[in-house]
Amino acid sequence: MATLSIFRACTRVRTHWHRFRLDMTPMVDVAFLLLTFFMLSTQPHVLQLQMPAARDAHDYADRGGLRNPDMITLILGTNHQVHYYTELNSPLDPSTAAPALHTTDFSAHGIRKLLLTWRSSLFRPVILIKPGPQATYRDMVDILDEMNITDQIRYALADLSAADRQLLEASGKH
């Protein structure tokens, strides 16, 4: 028996356990290479919108800064419609008549055709964009896209005034 225990002690194979070590360096290198590639290869497309100074465009026009025929007001309405009128809406001034309110849509034969016509026929049109109470965010993005497509230079966002609301209600397009 003694010889058997000596035999077992001599024939036992000693195994060495090594801890597994994962080297993350190559994976981190690849991640940073991909990150820098996508950062340098993609160009952000940002719509530049320059807002006018703190003064209201109507006040500027009333002081003689704009001629009445150069003013165009776009009111974004319901169901993706655009209501527009030219010149100024001054209900307090008895010498000016109330403007005629027209309606169009966002199609190529709608507002785009009008914007291109105004750009070619007027000296330097100033377009006031006024979102109505039922206008959607999509309408706002669409009209700003149309301003870029038709290469309009002078346009501004403005709040819907009480005179504009009266004009919408009087024409039944509220």
Count structural domains, the chain.
1
In a domain, 126, yes or no: yes
How many beta carbons lie within 10 A of that of residue 2, not counting itself?
A: 6
**More confidently predicted of 79 and 31:** 31
Where are the extended beta strands (E) located within the chain?
71-76, 81-86, 102-105, 126-131, 154-157
In a domain, 25, yes or no: no
In a domain, 112, yes or no: yes
Q: Answer yes or no: is pLDDT of 30 > 90.
A: yes
List the domain range (segments joined by +) for residue 146.
72-87+100-171
Confidence of residue 32 (pLDDT cuts 50, 70, 90): very high
* Contact yes or no for 73/89 (Cβ under 8 A): yes
* Contact yes or no for 113/133 (Cβ under 8 A): no
In a domain, 34, yes or no: no
Q: What is the pLDDT of residue 29?
A: 93
Q: Answer yes or no: is pLDDT of 31 > 90.
A: yes
Among candidate residues 125, 117, 124, 137, the one with its CA nearest the CA of residue 76: 137
The residue type of 62 is: D
In a domain, 145, yes or no: yes
Average pLDDT over residues 125-148: 88
Q: Strand 102-105 and strand 81-86: pairing?
A: antiparallel
In a domain, 146, yes or no: yes
Distance CA 76, CA 80 (A): 7
In a domain, 19, yes or no: no
Q: Cα-flanking dihedrals φ and ψ of residue 154, to 5°? A: -115, 105
In a domain, 138, yes or no: yes
Average pLDDT over residues 154-158: 85
Q: What is the pLDDT of residue 49?
A: 61
Whole-number mean pLDDT of the chain?
77
